[in-house]
Structure 1
Amino acid sequence: MTAGVNPLHLMARLAQSGLFDDHVVYERPGTWTFAGGVLGEVVLDGDGTVRSRWNDEEPTERRWSGRPSDALDEAFASCPFREWNAYGWIAFEFATAAQATRNAARLAHLIVPRTEVRIEACQAHVTSVDAAEADQVAHLLTEPTPPRLGTPVPVGVRSGGDRYRTQVAQAVSEIGAGQYQKVIVSRRLPIPYPVDVVSTYVRGRTANTPARSFLLNLGGFQATGFSPEVVACVDGTGTVMTQPLAGTRAFGRGAKEDATTRRELETDPKEIFEHAVSVRTSQDELYQVCEPDTVQVTGFMSVKERGSVQHLGSSVSGLLAQGRTSWDALDVLFPAVTASGIPKAEAIEAIGRLEDEPRGLYSGAVLTISHDGAMDAALVLRALYADGDEAWLRAGAGIVTGSTPDREFEETCEKLSSIAPYVVPRT
């Protein structure tokens, strides 16, 4: 790796190389990882099937029932490799409470890569089962040529307002009737041209300050995004952490205006209530899988700057109880309370009615899971999705007592502006 080379550009160069049809880029603080090619694969579908394949063997398919996290756990238990890391995504509909729908949509897609590149402290480490491929990757890492990047064509974010305001008004009415306390209502924004997803990733990441970032192409489905928060992070010692963000104002409009909106955020009763109930819910979820006296909140209601928006944020952590695993932690924390609502089951049911279409990867997670139980799962927001020539964005807002349709629509525009200005057409 050449000194001074941008890791973001190296990730893009690997994605553009043509060496890997399937790949995942995952950035966490201090570490960039490129996972390329398929050595192993697990696919979970909502029709009740899970497919696994390892090395070049024929895939096996079986029926699954119960918790989807258990289905994935069992699939990876059959992995023949002594040590492995897997990368991929899970859909919003992966949530246990949503399984009654049993639609045929894909719920999860993860790969154990053939080649893995990890960049830490400006040092690149390449591991691969294919020596020739490892040599090609090593050459790419020392090549000084920057990645090929197109020019963004910004996407307008203000269409669809009337329908969204109607949905918000309906949610406020249902909250007033006591059906639930909070629900996140989202809207889909089609992009009117095919997208260069890799260029969009580089352009957008340069302008954003995410908790995690990702770029993926699995089975032809592509996505990239700048995650504002972590759903579940579990280390090798069993410490689990989640980072609920709730409460939003615009950011990046100049020092004076940013300071004004920050004061609004920190003093607005609606935003404070929305955040406090989200933190309390995260605590209650961790109590289900952690030693109770280890559950704690740190950095309560601190302001997190995430691209075009700023949020109220906290960290909630604990130590997994004896016999509990990272899959158990994911099961109780997913979907993120900040992307579903309170109580979760009632909020998920409301989302199905109010939005009237599956979310798929939006408000799901991109994650990595390892043989030792370590897991890192990033909430998928501020993202772009592409399937063939079709591409779209999506954003939502947390609806609680005191929400107004106009303000919540404006919040979705602010969130969409984290990525809409950086979308690059495919040429």
Structure 2
Amino acid sequence: MKELEAIASQEVDWLGYTFDNILRAFLNTSFHHQLSVAAWRLPNQQTQHVILDTSEVISSTDWQLEELSPGFVASPFINADEESPYVRADIYYQSGKQQCQTASNAAQTAKIYSSLQQQLRQNKSAQIHTVPLNNSFFSAEPAKFSDIVANAVKAIEQGDFKKVVPSRNKLVSLPDNFDSARTFQQLCDAYPAAFVSLFSISGVGTWMGASPEILVSTYRQEQRRVFRTIALAGTQPLQGKDPLRSAAWRQKEIEEQAMVSRYIINCFKKIRLREFDEDGPKTTAAGNLLHLRTDFTVDMEATNFPELGSVMLRLLHPTSAVCGMPKEPSLEFIQQHEGYDRSFFSGFLGPVNMQDETHLFVNLRCMQLLGQQAILYAGAGVTIDSEPHREWEETEMKMRTIQKLMIDND
């Protein structure tokens, strides 16, 4: 394996190329050979990553994280069978290290590396996998969304559930010079505290986003294995000279965030896990928005719970931050009233077992790319104190987080 890696790494000259050049080469190679590709940048880190799955069939996996080979998983919002598209890290590039790990199929590896080198030299605009557009998916009218919110408030008043998170989407045109590799880099620059991701899979499509919400992370910290998740809810625009200190929260947002925190704690109770650290709630910035956030961490070795990541993933998804509380009745309301398929919006995605770390995020602040068009998505947490016009405005603010990068894609 080491000999193969040494031979393959000599076949591609990575030096002198920026990450967006390299990502563009990975995307074009994926498109021409009908392969799967994923790229990401973790919050508050500089390192960028891109992987290519050299198998010629779409890989999928269940949610038993601890048993997976290194790769990138993407799950839709509704996923009853827990089977999710999986991009294996057959070829892996990490910015700043000019190195790759490769699959054991030498012939396939040589072919793909030859394609990557050719694409690097040409540096043409990124080509991506797309799926057909279904116009019935779109629900962008203010009146329609306001009616959904009003119906949700009535259901809460009747005691059907305590909170629900209806969403909406809208179709927008992309500029003629739009390039997904360049936009990925712009997202990294604009949102350093977010998880920036892009995946493109034949027959599945291409999604890109900058999410602020950790779902499940497992990693080593000071010789111990740590599990981490967060409760993130409540939204207002970032404004003023010192927004983190001066932000004032209404009772509606405070209670909304508290529900998400209680949901996580109830999940811990279900598995009889009592030893966890809770930090928050605190005001945090995500792009041009502010949210309330509480962090939860668990020492997996002290609790003797090595499979905690997989167990909590099944309990948490879909979280009350993107679905509602209790989960079952709020999910039923969404399916009855929303009127479209969320697909990967408010699902989860991220790298698994890459360098002995797993980081899964809720797929928020995202868009689905469709050639010269894109679908934007956003949701709003509805409680008994919600006002329809405010919830519409919240979804507009969230969509602008991504949309403003499309206006100037030079």
Q: Note the 1:160-199 alignment, pairs <5 A.
A: 160-192=141-173, 196-199=179-182
Q: Secondary structure of 1:244's match?
A: strand
- Do the aligned residues in 2 keep the contact of 1:362 with 1:380 (CA within 8 Å)? yes
Query: Structure 1: 5+ residue runs without aligned partners?
Result: 45-51, 53-70, 151-156
**Which of 343, 346, 369 is the aligned partner of 1:363?**
346
Task: Report the Cα distance in structure 2 between the residues aligned to 1:210 and 1:323, rounded to whole angstroms.
Answer: 28
1:318 aligns to what?
Answer: 298
Task: Report the Cα distance in structure 1 between the residues aligned to 2:124 and 2:158, rounded to whole angstroms.
Answer: 54
Please give the root-mean-square deviation of Cα atoms over the aligned residues, in Å: 3.6
Q: Secondary structure of 1:231's match?
A: strand
Q: Rate the CA distance shift 1:14–1:182 in 2: closer, same or farther, 3 A.
A: same
- Give TM-score scaled by structure 2 length: 0.77
Identity %: 20
Q: Rate the CA distance shift 1:43–1:9 in 2: closer, same or farther, 3 A.
A: closer
Larger fraction in strand: 1
Q: Is 1:209 matched up with 2:185?
A: no
| CA displacement at 1:401 relative to structure 2 | 1.7
Task: Report the Cα distance in structure 1 between the residues aligned to 2:56 and 2:352, rounded to whole angstroms.
Answer: 13
Q: Is 1:303 matched up with 2:294?
A: no
| CA displacement at 1:276 relative to structure 2 | 1.4
Aligned-partner residue type, residue 368 of structure 2: Y
| CA displacement at 1:201 relative to structure 2 | 2.6
- Do the aligned residues in 2 keep the contact of 1:365 with 1:377 (CA within 8 Å)? yes
- Do the aligned residues in 2 keep the contact of 1:13 with 1:140 (CA within 8 Å)? yes
- Do the aligned residues in 1 keep the contact of 2:171 with 2:376 (CA within 8 Å)? yes
| CA displacement at 1:116 relative to structure 2 | 0.8
Aligned-partner residue type, residue 91 of structure 1: P
Task: Report the Cα distance in structure 1 between the residues aligned to 2:357 and 2:171, rounded to whole angstroms.
Answer: 36
**Which of 27, 32, 42 is the aligned partner of 2:48?**
32
**Which of 85, 89, 100 is the aligned partner of 2:74?**
89
Q: Is 1:277 matched up with 2:290?
A: no
Task: Report the Cα distance in structure 2 between the residues aligned to 1:421 and 1:136, rounded to whole angstroms.
Answer: 33
- Do the aligned residues in 2 keep the contact of 1:12 with 1:198 (CA within 8 Å)? yes
Q: Secondary structure of 2:156's match?
A: helix
Q: Rate the CA distance shift 1:19–1:288 in 2: closer, same or farther, 3 A.
A: farther
| CA displacement at 1:226 relative to structure 2 | 0.2
Q: Is 1:22 matched up with 2:13?
A: no
Q: Rate the CA distance shift 1:282–1:197 in 2: closer, same or farther, 3 A.
A: same
Q: Is 1:228 matched up with 2:212?
A: yes
Task: Report the Cα distance in structure 2 between the residues aligned to 1:371 and 1:204, rounded to whole angstroms.
Answer: 22
- Do the aligned residues in 2 keep the contact of 1:190 with 1:391 (CA within 8 Å)? yes
Task: Report the Cα distance in structure 2 between the residues aligned to 1:171 and 1:394, rounded to whole angstroms.
Answer: 19
Deviations 1:294-334 (Å, cap 9, x if unpaired)? x1212x02222111211111111224454734221211121
Task: Report the Cα distance in structure 1 between the residues aligned to 2:257 and 2:270, rounded to whole angstroms.
Answer: 21
Task: Report the Cα distance in structure 1 between the residues aligned to 2:312 and 2:56, rounded to whole angstroms.
Answer: 24
Q: Rate the CA distance shift 1:127–1:372 in 2: closer, same or farther, 3 A.
A: closer
Query: Structure 2: 5+ residue runs without aligned partners?
Result: 1-13, 104-108, 128-137
Q: Secondary structure of 2:344's match?
A: coil
1:66 aligns to what?
Answer: none
| CA displacement at 1:146 relative to structure 2 | 8.0
1:422 aligns to what?
Answer: 405
- Do the aligned residues in 1 keep the contact of 2:27 with 2:126 (CA within 8 Å)? no
- Do the aligned residues in 2 keep the contact of 1:244 with 1:337 (CA within 8 Å)? no
Q: Secondary structure of 2:165's match?
A: strand
- Give TM-score scaled by structure 1 length: 0.75
| CA displacement at 1:210 relative to structure 2 | 4.1
Q: Rate the CA distance shift 1:148–1:390 in 2: closer, same or farther, 3 A.
A: closer
| CA displacement at 1:37 relative to structure 2 | 2.8
- Do the aligned residues in 2 keep the contact of 1:199 with 1:424 (CA within 8 Å)? no
Task: Report the Cα distance in structure 2 between the residues aligned to 1:185 and 1:326, rounded to whole angstroms.
Answer: 27
1:73 aligns to what?
Answer: 64
Aligned length: 368
Deviations 1:339-361 (Å, cap 9, x if unpaired)? 11111222211111120322110
Q: Is 1:110 matched up with 2:89?
A: no
Aligned-partner residue type, residue 260 of structure 2: S
